[in-house]
Chains A and B, each alone.
Chain A
Amino acid sequence: MRKVYLDNAATTPLLPEVREAMLPFLGEVFGNPSSLHDWGDTARQAVDAAREQVAVLIGANAEEVIFTGSGTESNNFAIKGLALAQQSKGKHVVVSAIEHFSALHSARTLEKWGFELTEVPVDKYGMVNPDDVRESIRKDTVLISVMHANGEVGTIEPIKEIARIAKENKIVFHTDAIATAGTIPVDVKELGVDALSLAGNQFYGPKGVGALWVRRGVRIMPLLDGGVQEGGRRAGTENVPAIVGLGKAAELAKASMSARIKQLTPLRDRLLKELPASIEHVMVTGHPQNRLPGHASFCVEFIEGESMLMFLNMEGIAVSSGSACTSRALKASHVLIAMGISHELAQGSLLCTFGLDNTDEDVDYMVKVLPPIVDRLRQMSPLYSKFIKASKGGK
């Protein structure tokens, strides 16, 4: 059976070059970077080299890059750490309504700790309006955090404009660039941000490693106390193999970014066009143009995502969904709901994200396999039969 992996937003595979770079650090090179001997030196040099590679990817200085255990940790660290470091100045934080849970829930935790939170809405494309951010600013606002792009609907946010507004008001601005760093050009100076999160498994690096960049001079409170690793900002013995892998992945991403974008964009565009053309009542979610290169997301009316996923999996296709039934909490995706999509329609959420292994044949296969699955589920759906009866009776 054909195997088609269209879930690169969940995680990308590890590139062979990245694995090769990591291997020595899973074997003979095992020293602790903090140790004062040759073993330690070799490990520390490897970590520093990786820091440089990550810095180059985002146009930053290496000493401003802090390695973390995941994108989730980076976002937790940024939101909590940047707010807590400034709490004597004020206790108001602004985030968008469609942040990843690692950012949104961190902000809500701050609320429990006595901060006040404003969640800025998005339009039907999942786009934040910079004016809404401007209006949400108060005298006591100390942090604004808006993601660079949303991983569920692919929309790229107007970060430059929002960063400018934050700067005008002298407010620290963090962006969650987990969906973009290593995928599309990300330059911290050009974006004008103060802090930025990224994660290795979004651009063919290993899982369980991320980074937070914080501009020099911006204060952040550590979440983990302990030793003085990462300049005292993140204690804990470094995950050397993963950090080395992240560095290598960053280097490769930088070198081949435009080629990758050129490869993924036509696949995405084909699927965005061909799925709605081959199945009735399918809408594209997210921004039609301003979206991540490999990202195609939809809502299929009258059916539910998990059952779609299960049938697709049986055909060898891996995708994901923001339906309530697919979530552990049995809640529809907060992103789709914030975009004004009904709970019913959100049930049919379908997310296909392309990676470097995908080809035109994969698109062909998806477009061939999905329509009969949708048809089969619709034949079972009481919503569909109601719709058919209403449209027959009504006209």
Chain B
Amino acid sequence: MPVYSEKVMDHFMHPRNVGEIENPDGIGEEGNPVCGDMMTFYIKVKDNRLEDIKFKTFGCGAAIAVSSMVSEMAMGKTLDEAMKITPTSVAEELQGLPKNKFHCSNLGAQALHKAIEDYLSKQKAQGEKKE
């Protein structure tokens, strides 16, 4: 078993915000090229803030803890703030990750960012339609 911090174990055993959102404002899916794992983030946006976040993860204990932590860190934040969440800041919040598990934290931040980008591009498309 990799040596995981208490924080990682807590998020692994009690992951926050697991699930899916019906009719989400944005979806972000990220695959892990290293080991073939996958994370999907669903977001609801209101007044430029992340009103709700849900995720699903296929991966190791670290990947599950990372996605849970990302969802917690981003909840209620403005989109700009959420875009500033990095793999490093996620790993720090989790009291560190074993070295060979660091790539799992990329997965989480990227999946969230993709969901936000998805939302923004939909917004843009809608704006263009209105014009």
Contact = CB atoms under 8 A, between A and B. Distances in A.
B25 interface: no
User: Most chain-B Cβ atoms within 10 A of its Cβ — which of A324, A330, A332?
Assistant: A330
B1 A325 contact: no
B57 A381 contact: yes
B20 interface: yes
Interface in A303-346: 303-304, 306-307, 309-310, 313-314, 323-326, 328, 330-332, 343-344
Contacts of A258: none
Interface residues of A, number: 27
A332 B58 contact: no
Given A380-B57, A381-B57, A382-B58, A347 B35 contact: yes
B35 A332 contact: yes
Contacts of A303: 58
Contact of A328 (B1, B36, B57, B100): B100
B92 to A, nearest CB: 22
B61 interface: yes
A385 interface: yes
B72 interface: no
Contact of A325 (B12, B15, B29, B59): B59
For chain B, what secondary structure do more than half of its interface residues adopt (helix, strand, loop), or is it mixed?
A: mixed
B58 A383 contact: yes
B110 to A, nearest CB: 14
Contacts of A325: 35, 37, 59-60, 63
Contact of A307 (B12, B18, B35, B56): B12
Interface string A158-192: 00000000000000000000000000000000000
A382 B40 contact: yes
B35 A324 contact: yes
A323 B57 CA distance: 15
Given A307-B64, A325-B63, A330-B100, A382 B56 contact: yes
A379 interface: yes
Contact of B29 (A309, A344, A382): A382
A302 interface: yes
B21 interface: no
Contact of B58 (A313, A330, A347): A347
Contacts of B34: 324, 330
Given A324-B35, A380-B18, A306 B60 contact: yes
A11 to B, nearest CB: 16
B39 interface: yes
Contacts of A343: 36
Given A304-B58, A307-B12, A325-B63, 4 more contacts: A325-B35, A331-B35, A382-B38, A383-B58
Nearest 4 Cβ contacts at the A-B interface: A324-B35, A325-B60, A382-B56, A306-B60
12 contacts: A302-B58, A304-B63, A307-B59, A307-B60, A307-B61, A323-B60, A324-B34, A330-B100, A332-B35, A347-B36, A380-B18, A380-B56
Interface of B: 1-2, 12-13, 15, 18, 20, 29, 34-40, 56-61, 63-64, 100, 103
